[in-house]
Structure 1
Amino acid sequence: NNDWLVVNQFTVKAPGHTRRPDLVVFVNGLPLAVIELKDPQSANATLQSAWHQLQTYKAQIPALFHTNELLVISDGTDAKVGSLTAPWERMAPWRTIDGAGLAPSAVPKLEVLLKGVFEQERFLDYIRYFVLWETEDGFVKKTAGYHQYHAAQKAVAATVRASRPQGDRRIGVVWHTQGSGKSISMAFYTGKLILQPEMQNPTVVVITDRNDLDGQLYAQFCAAKGLIPAPVQAEDREHLRELLQVASGGVVFSTIQKFGTAKGERFPMLSDRRNIVVITDEAHRSQYEFVDGFARNLRDGLPNASFIGFTGTPIEFDDKNTPAVFGDYIDTYTIAQAVEDKATVQIFYEARLAKIALPEEKKPKVDAKFEEVTEGEEDTVKHRLKSTWAKLEAMVGTDERLALIAKDIVEHFERRLEILDGKGMIVVMSRRIAVDLYDAIVKLRPEWDAPAGDDEHGGIKVVMTGAASDPPSYQQHIRSKSQLKAIEKRFKEVSDPLKLVIVRDMWLTGFDAPCAHTLYVDKPMKGHGLMQAIARVNRVFKDKPSGLVV
């Protein structure tokens, strides 16, 4: 039996300070939560003043917070909860009591939060499975929001059901809108799942596309080391087979390409274990087209595995494949909910036209450039795209048009920076256009340029893949993994002079820079890919009011 105690005005003495937090929640003598309440009658009583009060306590009576898991603030009207290290903008509402639905607006928000979080069994479950810490940029403690907690609970229950002998192995799909913490939800789900006795030490296989392997999701799982075992990257199909034989289970990352086959080839069985769970990040029809027969090959390779999909965008109405592989929705968290909860910011759209007018003699013969335009695509996709994409790329990438685009972006973004400091991303059709647009922009703003090889300076960079065989003009923009990491770190730091990056498709998925507020799209995009791209600017950051897509 656990000993539960809530103390009002608990006195804490430290050298030079005596403080009395409003409420401290003790379990077995350990102070696990601190609640700061402001008088609703007072003109100065705001949620933010309650949060500032907690920051003062952390500085002056740190011993009280050595075992802290949650901070709660309320002004009598609103109530929010967050981790020990949560900045103000990461304090979040708790809008459900039991996860069955959102609480009626007539129920006070503090009541919903207290009943929703501190019901004894739920609170113990929460602090065991839904708190993790990261140490890459200092000590950061992260806790689940209400949508993450209940989605993971439902997903674990659905997984246990689906993997039983009588289960159909289709766990379902979790749709949580881009920017609302989908990666961390997957980590929470995995952490709780692997400790379920009925799963008997499962192996969790996380399927990503090739661009995301070193991205946010893998980093998130590596950072969650207190919650889940360290993930292992499968190097090839044979290595994946070996990892699936490990009886103690674990977490394995594999790219979707490892489940591709040559024409007429039947995918071999990798393991017939029942306690293998396959998580597909961004479970969408676009991924089935990316590698021919992906769904069938997964089934052939892992005939008794269960499948769950996590996605940041809704399944399209006419997409029959996704439900066929994964099942129906387990949980949804929409854009509207995320904006209302301030888990993401609103996104606004602004159209700016740069007309393409070319005389006949300037319309280039373009197919020779196609290899670099679609670098990384599958052959079947290349064949289908070749004619239309390459012709459009050539027209979009003329010197005259890029000069026009460069001038418009520079002037527009400088006006944006006058209002709000932050970062911008420019999405273009090809690496050639990325390089040429960079040249056009630094011609207008030479002070944004930096010598080749100098990644510590400069206000604009091109982020793209490349090889030694690429043209000389590309070489200064081709970087190693560690060099790209250094650029990424600069871009994520709002005070760093690096303000703009030009990308083709890198950083459009699995990349999180909350200070980015403007996205310039100069490339045909639609559906799922567009939704992923625009979410680069919907992250919450300090006083950023919204994101803009141009």
Structure 2
Amino acid sequence: MSAVPQTREQYSAHLPALHLLINLGWHFLPTDEALTQRGSTREVILKARLIEVLQTRRFDYKGEQYPLSPSGIDQIVRQVQALNLAEGLMAANERLYQMLTLGMTVTEFMPDGKKHQPTIALVDWHDAGANRWDVTEELEVLSTHGTHHRVPDVVAYVNGLPLAVIEAKRPDGTHVGQAMVDEGISQQLRNQRHDEIPHLFAYAQLLLAVSHTEGRYGTIGTPMKFWARWREEQFTDAQLGAWKNQPLNADVQTALLAGKPPKLQAYFRQLWAQPQLPTDQDRLLAALLEPERLLEFLRLFVLFDRKAGKVVARYQQFFGIRVLLERINLRRPDGGREGGVVWHTTGSGKSLTMVFLTKALVLHGNTQACRVVVVTDRLDLEDQLSRNFMNSGAFGSAVATKKDGEKAKVGSGRDLARRIGQGTERIMFTLIHKFATASKLPECYNSSADMIVLVDEGHRSHGGETHERMRKALPRAAYVAFTGTPLLKKDKTANKFGPIVHAYTMQRAVEDGTVAPLLYEERVPELTINEEAVNRWFDRITAGLSPEQAADLKRKFANKHAVYGAANRIELIAWDIAQHFSENVKKLDLGLKGQVAMASKLEAIRYKQYLDDTGLVSSAIIISPPDSREGNTEVDESKLPEVQRWWNTQCGQERRNL
């Protein structure tokens, strides 16, 4: 009896979702009216609504405004309907997103006989009231091969385009142990497959799964584990309550309940006559689908990343960037822009936050003239950030190439000085240390207030002279520091860059499921080095010594301070790690692994050597390549620095194995 669970979904999630959306400003479109506008279950756009909106569009020509001709409207409708899924869902979706954000160019023949090609906006991003907001339910869509239909619970249309798809599920899952919204997410993922209804998802920008007490969101291609929760930082529960308890127009209520079982109609008429408290489902729907919020979110907080696919911002990125934009638009007494510190814990998407910020700066009218300088203190971080910017479209969406990313990286101190004083690049990447050379050159100066400096891991390398040289070269720039490291109240980062403008702590990230929880167990080397490991090490090292020499050596190591300073301290700790892992983890035979973070590449190499020597565990090193330009004083290979020699040996072994 499929009607029973469907009714339960309508009680708990489906109708409450529609009710709130209507109160947020969406027009309820009954299923049969939506089908009439679509033409058939194979079509997913509301063609009549799109045409209606396009008839209101105007373009300028020689100082006068003109409406779109029927031919111009037809050109847009045909392009919108003809999204090509042959290259895959992601490519089609990105093409539609470009149409939404960049507008569409049409050819118009003007009264003077000349041809004109205006760009027409599909969506008015600045005035929510200039768009048409429709929401419908039970949208029956024919599958690609015409073999069956799928029926998403709720679909939200902007100007006739299905931009949001919602699966509303009852709180108790149909499978034992399944999370409330997992079933809805699973359906969203299934429906995107090539033999299902991908033509609906070619248009969809936001996907939601709600179940009364819970809600998560993603976009096309988002794996289930990355569907995110939302914590609202603007709309209060009082505001949500006002939206939720706003009385429905009688005609709208009748349309919403039409065709539903009498018992269900009676239940909701009684429910909506009483005050209701907001649920987590309400919080997610309002956070993402309140019309003005949806326009802001889709315009500024969507990226197409070549590695990660399509990415939509998480709430800490959304609100952090909002605060930053407000901060950057404040002025200091010297006319420069204000800056600050963004403290988002490691693993929360800090690099993408920087990309989202750059996109927002480019699109906001009062920051469009700004140039962005991204400053790091390590070569591997510079490479990582430039890749993230390039992959995510910061250099021009689909046209960006690896060459664009490389060109944005500053090659030398002299190159940095030239770019600061005379360059026009919108984005450039540099190491902080290059300011030491650049600042000595006269051209390394730019007093513009439209320079914005983004500093990655701002808690490091910015306490001394090099930081001051950067400030001197760019005296009126806005300085924004990003860090994932917990900050103390008197931390110098805040003193150098301004106040902490937004924080996302490790505790909050763990609660959100953004990062895995970390459990710390302190093992202080001089107190907790395993006695057996120490004895085994002493037996090895004193094998060739006299009893007197061995006793003398043991006396030296009995001093806890000597252990810290001993050349073989790493070997002691390696033995302790190996034995602890072997006894407590390896014997479980669960395939579990461990990770040891080192202070340097050299330490990593030495730890591996000693771990291998124990014979208790196997290990591998993960490091970035050493800079082959540095540290070479001899031609003799045996005298190369240890790290570089190890790297060359490993690379040679890999080549031989190919």
What is the TM-score with the length of structure 1 in the denominator? 0.70
- Distance (Å, rounded) in 2 between the aligned partners of 1:148 and 1:208: 20
- The residue type equivalent to 1:287 in the other structure is S
Q: Which has the higher contact order (CA 8 A, sep 6+)?
A: 1
Once the two structures are superposed, what CA deviation does each residue of 1:112-145 show, in whole Å capped at 9, x if it has no partner? 1111111212211211111112223xx6111101
- The residue type equivalent to 2:212 in the other structure is G
Residue number in structure 1 paired with 2:604: 434
- Distance (Å, rounded) in 1 between the aligned partners of 2:522 and 2:493: 33
Residue number in structure 1 paired with 2:413: 237
- Distance (Å, rounded) in 2 between the aligned partners of 1:102 and 1:440: 61
- Distance (Å, rounded) in 2 between the aligned partners of 1:300 and 1:11: 63
Residue number in structure 1 paired with 2:430: 254
Q: How does 1:120-519 map to 2 (within 5 A)?
A: 120-136=291-307, 140-162=309-331, 167=335, 169-225=337-393, 231=405, 232-244=408-420, 249-260=425-436, 269-284=444-459, 286-289=460-463, 292-319=464-491, 321-352=492-523, 353-354=528-529, 392=565, 394-398=567-571, 402-415=574-587, 418-419=589-590, 421=591, 423-428=593-598, 433-443=603-613, 448=618, 460-461=620-621, 463=623, 466=626, 470=639, 477-479=646-648
- The residue type equivalent to 1:66 in the other structure is A
CA RMSD, aligned part only?
Answer: 3.8
- Shift of the 57–200 alpha-carbon distance from structure 1 to 2, 3 Å rule, reads closer
- The residue type equivalent to 2:570 in the other structure is G
- Distance (Å, rounded) in 1 between the aligned partners of 2:622 and 2:183: 42
Which one has the bigger strand percentage? 1
Residue number in structure 2 paired with 1:51: 185
Q: Percent identity?
A: 29
Structure 1 window deviating more from structure 2 (388-397 vs 176-185): it is 388-397
Find the residue that maps to 2:594 and give its secondary structure.
strand
Tell me which of 149, 153, 162 is aligned to 1:31: 162
- Distance (Å, rounded) in 1 between the aligned partners of 2:568 and 2:390: 43
Structure 2 residues without counterparts, runs of 5 or longer: 1-129, 242-276, 539-549, 629-636
Residue number in structure 1 paired with 2:216: 80
Tell me which of 106, 122, 132 is aligned to 1:3: 132
Find the residue that maps to 1:132 and give its secondary structure.
strand
- The residue type equivalent to 1:88 in the other structure is M
Aligned-pair distance for 1:63?
A: 0.7
Larger Rg: 2
Tell me which of 287, 308, 319 is aligned to 1:116: 287
Whether the aligned pair in 2 keeps the contact of 1:96 and 1:103 (CA below 8 Å) is: no
Residue number in structure 2 paired with 1:506: none
Whether the aligned pair in 1 keeps the contact of 2:413 and 2:436 (CA below 8 Å) is: no
- Shift of the 391–411 alpha-carbon distance from structure 1 to 2, 3 Å rule, reads closer
Residue number in structure 2 paired with 1:66: 202
Following TM superposition, the consecutive aligned residue runs of length 4 or more in structure 1 with deviations greater than 6 angstroms are 99-105, 264-268, 388-391
Which one has the bigger helix percentage? 2
Name the count of aligned residue pairs: 442
- The residue type equivalent to 2:182 in the other structure is Q
- Distance (Å, rounded) in 1 between the aligned partners of 2:640 and 2:334: 58
- Distance (Å, rounded) in 2 between the aligned partners of 1:121 and 1:397: 58
What is the TM-score with the length of structure 2 in the denominator? 0.60
- Distance (Å, rounded) in 2 between the aligned partners of 1:191 and 1:389: 54
Residue number in structure 2 paired with 1:497: none
Once the two structures are superposed, what CA deviation does each residue of 1:219-243 show, in whole Å capped at 9, x if it has no partner? 2212111676755101112212333
Find the residue that maps to 1:191 and give its secondary structure.
helix
- Shift of the 361–197 alpha-carbon distance from structure 1 to 2, 3 Å rule, reads farther
Whether the aligned pair in 2 keeps the contact of 1:201 and 1:249 (CA below 8 Å) is: no
Structure 1 residues without counterparts, runs of 5 or longer: 366-387, 449-458, 488-550
- Distance (Å, rounded) in 1 between the aligned partners of 2:429 and 2:641: 35
- Distance (Å, rounded) in 2 between the aligned partners of 1:102 and 1:84: 32
Structure 1 window deviating more from structure 2 (348-357 vs 99-108): it is 99-108
Aligned-pair distance for 1:276?
A: 0.4
Aligned-pair distance for 1:413?
A: 4.7
- Distance (Å, rounded) in 1 between the aligned partners of 2:562 and 2:372: 38
- Distance (Å, rounded) in 2 between the aligned partners of 1:430 and 1:347: 22
Once the two structures are superposed, what CA deviation does each residue of 1:256-301 show, in whole Å capped at 9, x if it has no partner? 1112369x979974322220001111222x4234xx4133111111
